Amino acid sequence: MAFCEFTSTVAQLYDKWMEDADPRSEDWLLMSSPLPQTLIIAFYIYFVMSLGPRLMENRKPFDLKRFLVIYNFSVVAYSIYMCYEFVMSGWGTGYSFGCELVDYSRSPKGMRMVWTCWLYFFSKFIELMDTVFFVLRKKHNQVTFLHVFHHSIMPFTWWFGVRFSPGGLGTFHAPLNCIVHVIMYTYYGLSALGPKYQKFLWWKKHLTSIQLIQFVIITLHISQYFFMKDCPYSYPIFIYIIALYGIIFLLLFLHFWYHAYTKGKRLPKVLQNTTMQQNNDIHHKKE
């Protein structure tokens, strides 16, 4: 009886909460409730952390080179398209970089921003395939906490962004992230082309630098909200979440940077020996 009352209360609270949701996207794919995306993300975590490695344990790694070339450059094209849509729906056509509120109207521009936010949300499910490919290729060292956490949390939180706050101040990080992904997936695409392109991948370390700069810019931009005297943003909770993410991802990527590049564990092979030699020279100098 008590359990039934509890579930009834939860259902009532959920219905009341969803009354405030933006109705413009409620009939779109994956947007009816947070349950479908939660199940997808839960299965993703289960697959990449448990099921996938067990299935691949006694199998040879899949050769996905040709497919990865198509996949990565397709993501590049998709990211460029999203950049364009974010610019045309607000960030290059009237949005300020200060207190920009959400346009909840059904005007062409307002609807274009909602659609663009959904495109960005959906892109996060496409990017889940990054980890699936790591598992199928038995690249288990690349399935890190940072990688899985980042790919899991982004689509989950963006569902709420699309349904409650699709636009304005809280979307600044999205077009910036799209630009970074154009660069990042271009690197992945070139890498998938094979060893003969390794000489063109010397800039991998700079790719992580770009990601770090991204999180610094995102954190600085969103933090200005806390110093504004009057900014009636519809859902301030998203401001706090974005600021928290900016700080968390900055720290996690700094940790990755230290282990990957300072110690030379993730540099291209042509640079690993140089880095190891530099580290040895520094060690000998200290002695």
Tell me the catalytic residues: 150
- Read off the amino acid at residue 109: K
Contacts of 75 (CB under 8 A, 6+ apart): 123, 126, 127, 181, 185
Task: Encode burial over 225-237: b for 16+ CB neighbours within 10 A, e otherwise.
Answer: beeeeebebbbee
SS3 for the chain is CHHHHHHHHHHHHHHHHHCCCCHHHCCCCCCCCCHHHHHHHHHHHHHHHHHHHHHHCCCCCCCCHHHHHHHHHHHHHHHHHHHHHHHHHHHCCCCCCCCCCCCCCCCHHHHHHHHHHHHHHHHHHHCCHHHHHHHHCCCHHHCCHHHHHHHHHHHHHHHHHHHHCCCHHHHCHHHHHHHHHHHHHHHHHHHHCCHHHHHHCCCHHHHHHHHHHHHHHHHHHHHHHHHCCCCCCCCHHHHHHHHHHHHHHHHHHHHHHHHHHHCCCCCCHHHHHHHHHHHHHHHHHHC
| Token pair in block for residue 82 | 């999203």
- Read off the amino acid at residue 250: L
